[in-house]
Structure 1
Amino acid sequence: MATTLLFVDADNQAPILATTLTRFLKTIGRESAKAIVAGNGVGDRVRNWELALKEARPDIEVACHVAPPRKQSADVRLMFELAPFYHGQPDSAVLLVIFSRDDLLVAAAECLVQKGHNAMVVVGSSSNGTSLVTDVPVVVLPSPQVAAAQVAPAPIHDVATARPANQSDTKPDNAVVTTAITKIRQQLKPNKQGGYAASAVGQVLAQLGHDKANRTKIVKQIPNLKEVGTGPEKRLIF
């Protein structure tokens, strides 16, 4: 029997995509699925994903994991869940779907495919048009606004996407920075000591579709930015 396992990075992808995700699985004949959801405990992301998946597909089995509030802790938790497959024998009936843009999990998908497993990466459409650079199949789900007018999901891309040579030299548009600031203030509560946890800010930007390099550029462009603390205690005041 065909089995589909979803590995959802709740810190990286928004739960509003749950309906589009389950519709995509139905389109490819993979309605029977189990979801493993991980997040770092900042806010209610894991719970929101569980509720969204259950609403989209009431019979889906969802395993939730709240990781410590540290950078990439959700990625690490999902990689622990993926480890048995990496060390196990490939099964042609099993499809591993990794729902994240994070480099660690994209690399995990590449390792699984190299081992002979059926694995793909699924992401929500990026507001800045950034493409993942990988040779594993990637499915880009339309945003909820676009999804209402579409039936079929975005196509699977089997080839690597070339990164523009001068991409690292470009600065984000002011509109992109403004949108990011608005989203941060909507989703996050200021720390009692002032500002926002740097890791939480990074997660909000990731949900908007920005990769690590662009997240760094956007943060540097925030007006009157002040950085306080280091490591997991780092705060961004603006």
Structure 2
Amino acid sequence: MRYDRSSHLTSNLRSAMATTLLFVDADNQPPILASTLTRFLKTIGRNSAKAFVAGNGVGDRVRNWEAALKEAVPGIEVSCHIAPIRKQSADVRLMFELATFYHGEPDPSVLLAVFSRDDLLVAATEALVQRGHNAMIVIGAGSNGMALNTDVPVVVLTTPQQVNTQPAVNPTTLPSTTTAVQPANKPDSQLVAAAITKIRQQLKPNKQGGYAASAVGQVLSQLGHDKAMRTKIVKQIPNLKEVGTGPEKRLVF
């Protein structure tokens, strides 16, 4: 007899209020958004029954997400997956979890919320919607401000640091100044400097020198940058040298 995990899980939720299952890419989105996310879900009448969290490396980001979710939603069940440091390995773990729903019958009382900007998981969410499931993408408001190119509903959460606490200024009182306009295709120097600082804080240099390119990408993803912006930031790192190819590629700076 075939055991349909998604049907079993959703059948247990039918008698409860509308429920949301979270699929969190811990390498892509910061755990500070956990409380904001759960407050949003409550405003639309949904509970967070279970979360699947996946990330690469030693698992510190996964554990941080687990702690943040349990603090925001006491009693929530969190299933953690720590994947090897390999490109998209954490995404694959989440896709295996999503696959059980893809092959199951849609349940209108269950919402699948995928917390990631990565193209692979965005595509997976689109596939779920095409199969009739209720699904959406949740992301943090990144500094790049670039919108995702998808027809799936996208919820953008603002982190506490991004709340503007400056008093409103009447534009007519501003002195006349000349402002240098940054080219649209190039990130500004402050953004690049902040990214470099974050990389050096979170990563240890490789024994051969530099940092694993995949690990650098994960740090930039955690800052809210999509693939295009990550590439632009890396290209603007001063004195950058790229060594190796594929999974062995290192960025020396």
**TM-score, length-scaled by structure 1:** 0.87
How many residue pairs get matched? Answer: 220
Q: What displacement does 1:117 show?
A: 0.3
Q: In the superposition, relative to structure 1, how do residues 48 and 182 fare at CA in structure 2: closer, same or farther (>3 Å)?
A: same
Please give the residue correspondences for 1:92-111 in structure 2 after superposition, counting only pairs within 5 Å: 92-111=108-127
> Could you give the per-residue CA deviations for residues 32-56 of structure 1, whole angstroms, max 9, x where no partner exists?
4200000112451111111111112
Which of residues 80, 86, 106 in structure 2 aligns to 1:70?
86
d(CA) in 2 for partners of 1:187, 1:144: 21
CA deviation string 1:107-156 (max 9, x = no partner) = 1111111111000000001111111111111000011224698xxxxxxx
Q: List per-residue Cα deviations over 1:46-96 (Å, max 9, x = no partner).
A: 111111111122211100011121001111110010001111111101100
1:99–1:121 Cα contact (<8 Å) kept: yes
Deviation at 1:103, TM superposition (A): 0.4
2:107 aligned residue (84, 87, 91) = 91
Select the residue among 136, 150, 154 that pairs with 1:134: 150
1:162 matched residue in structure 2: none
Amino acid at match of 1:123: I
Q: Relative to 1, partners in 2 of residues 1:148 and 1:57: Cα closer, same or farther, differing over 3 Å?
A: farther
Q: Does 1:207 align with 2:207?
A: no
Q: Distance in 2 between matches of 1:16 and 1:41?
A: 19
**Equivalent residue number for residue 138 of structure 2:** 122
Segment drifting more, 44-53 vs 138-147: 138-147
Aligned match of 1:50 in 56, 66, 78? Answer: 66
**Percent identity of the aligned residues?**
80
Paired AA for residue 82 in structure 1: L
Counterparts of 2:146 and 2:205 in 1: how far apart (Å)?
Answer: 29
Residues in 2 aligned to 1:57 and 1:192: alpha-carbon distance in whole angstroms: 41
Name the structure 1 match of 2:201: 186
Q: Aligned partners of 1:147 and 1:192: how far apart in 2?
A: 40
> Is the CA contact 2:22–2:48 (under 8 Å) kept in the aligned structure 1?
no
Take 1:16 and 1:187, find their aligned partners in 2: how far apart are those partners? Answer: 17
Worse-matched range after superposition: 73-82 or 187-196: 187-196
In structure 1, what is the equivalent of residue 57 of structure 2? 41
Q: Give the Cα–Cα distance (whole angstroms) in 2 for the partners of residues 100 and 86 of structure 1.
A: 18
Q: Is the 8 A contact 1:42 1:200 kept in 2?
A: no
Deviation larger for 39-48 or 98-107: 39-48
Q: How many angstroms apart in 2 are the aligned matches of 1:186 and 1:68? A: 20
Structure 1's unaligned 5+ residue stretches are: 150-168
Cα distance in 1 for residues equivalent to 2:29 and 2:130: 25
Secondary structure in 2 matching 1:78: helix
- 1:83 is paired with a residue whose SS is helix
Determine the C-alpha separation between the residues in 2 that align with 1:92 and 1:148. Answer: 37
Tell whether 2:21 aligns with 1:5: yes
Cα distance in 1 for residues equivalent to 2:28 and 2:53: 11
Instruction: Give the match for residue 6 of structure 2.
Output: none
* Residues in 2 aligned to 1:15 and 1:84: alpha-carbon distance in whole angstroms: 25
**TM-score (norm. length: structure 2):** 0.82
**Aligned counterparts of 1:53 and 1:234: Cα–Cα separation in 2:** 34
SS in 2 for 1:176: helix
Q: Secondary structure at the match of 1:223?
A: coil
Gaps of 5+ in 2: 1-15, 166-183
CA distance in 1, matches of 2:65, 2:57: 12
